[in-house]
A and B are shown apart, each in its own frame.
Chain A
Amino acid sequence: MVAVLSLTCLLCSAILGGAYALTKEPIEKAAADKTARSIALVVPEFDSVSEEKAAILDGKEYKYYEAVRDGAPVGYAIVSKAGGFGGDIVLMVGLDTAGVVCNTSVLSHSETPGLGAKCTSDEGFIAQWKGFDPSVKILSVKKDGGDVDAITASTITSRAYAKAVGTAVDVFKSINGVKVDASTGASVKPMEEPENEQ
């Protein structure tokens, strides 16, 4: 009895160990491909992308990638998230060097199918992020007095989306703050007031 059970477990773990080793590389490649695709989608034309970097904002770490063309940075792809209706909405937000949003892409979400999940398919909602300038427009949904068109019947999702984009804009500022102050030895520039307070 014990022998059969042990033998089964031993055999099964051997099979799984082998399968894990064999699929480890394709799984990592699939994940890297997905990141590369979403970076390419959200930043201006580039010829190389930096390794993953991290920026610290309010004690939290944010991952970002720098897109470079002809040796000069042309944009940043920043991973940020905010709590939506069904869980965290994780976005890849692309900004050019002037701080204008180029595009956004959803990395993962668990919003309601047919409602909040439309943040990945609603054309009007997605298109409004292209060229969204946070220094001119207000980053909150129209219901809250902002400039973001919410998805029909999904205000909570739209709010979270706008909030995540706002976080990315703040991270962008802190990245540039670090760079500007690098010569003076200061680490992080104090947070500026968010634009939507204008």
Chain B
Amino acid sequence: MSSKVRLILDGFVKNNPTFVLLLGMCPTLATTTSAVNGLSMGLATLFVLVLSNMAISAIAPVVPDKVHIPVYIVVIATFVTLLQLLMQAYTPAVYETLGLFIPLIVVNCIVLGRAEAFASRNGVIASAADGIGVGLGFTLALTVLGAVREILGSGSIFGWKFIPGDGMLAFVMAPGAFICLGYLMVLFNKYLKKE
């Protein structure tokens, strides 16, 4: 059991998809204008990652090598579309905010990356643990990045405004995303990854 816990922790720190592996940069930069947006995007990816990891590890032994990429993409796309329908039905407000970035989870390299590198070679439960770890690592990174950008750019956190007026608007826009991501990466690698 401890090996599964180890897998989850690895996804968080050692294999953190955003700060260490530098995967999935497009949604990372685009959807983290606020902490809530970052958190929602992270959880949406976590959902797809866990389910696709489990499904792919289950079918991997019977999938011939020549068609494994198309099969994996079809499986991932199925879960993304499922998520899209569910969000549209039950959380329409979140769905509208994240908009285009939900269908784009299909081509998020974290999902296919974990399918290739981990799920296709490991068991269902281990793959689920890996999905949870990497998914939570991604969620954490996006939420922190979103929170920093929201604090600096809008003077609020999780929608709660503590500085009246405008913040530094550059942080809400694309350049601020790059700057924040860069500094967070430095801090993360200096203080956490070492251990």
A residues near B, CB below 8 A? 1, 4-5, 8-9, 12, 15-16, 19-20, 23, 26-27, 30-31, 34, 108, 110, 112-115, 152-153
CB of A33, distance to nearest CB on chain B (Å): 8
- Give the interface SS of chain A, mostly helix, strand, loop or mixed: helix
Judging by beta carbons under 8 Å apart, are B153 and A114 in contact? yes
User: Once the chains are docked, how many angstroms separate the CA of A5 from the CA of B69?
Assistant: 10
- Contacts A27-B88, A30-B92; A115 near B75 (Cβ below 8 A): no
User: Which one of A20, A26, A31, A110 has the highest number of Cβ atoms from chain B below 10 Å of its Cβ?
Assistant: A26
Residue of B34, B89, B99 with highest tally of chain A CB at under 10 A: B89
Q: Which residues of A contact B169 (CB under 8 A)?
A: 114-115, 153
Option from B33, B62, B78, B153 in Cβ contact (under 8 Å) with A15: B78
Q: Contact at A4–B78, with CB atoms within 8 Å? A: no
- Shortest B119–chain A CB gap in Å is 15
Q: With A12-B78, A20-B85, A23-B86 as known contacts, state yes or no: A4 contacts B67, CB within 8 Å.
A: yes
Q: What are 20 A-B contacts with C-beta separation under 8 Å? A: A4-B62, A4-B63, A5-B70, A12-B74, A12-B75, A12-B77, A15-B82, A16-B81, A19-B85, A23-B88, A26-B90, A27-B88, A27-B89, A30-B89, A30-B90, A30-B92, A112-B173, A113-B34, A114-B169, A114-B172
Least Cβ–Cβ distance between A86 and chain B, in angstroms: 11
How far, in whole Å, are A108 and B99 apart by their CA atoms in the complex?
A: 11
Q: Assess whether A152 is in contact with B166, with CB atoms less than 8 Å apart.
A: yes
B71 at the interface (CB under 8 A from A): yes
A-B contact number at CB 8 A: 66
Closest to B100 in A: A110
When the two chains form their complex, are residues A1 and B85 in contact, meaning their CB atoms are under 8 A apart? Answer: no
Chain A residues, CB < 8 A from B63: 4, 8
Taking CB atoms, residues of chain A closer than 8 Å to B64 are 1, 4
**Structural contact, A8 and B92, CB atoms closer than 8 A:** no
Closest CB-CB distance, B115 to chain A, in whole Å? 13
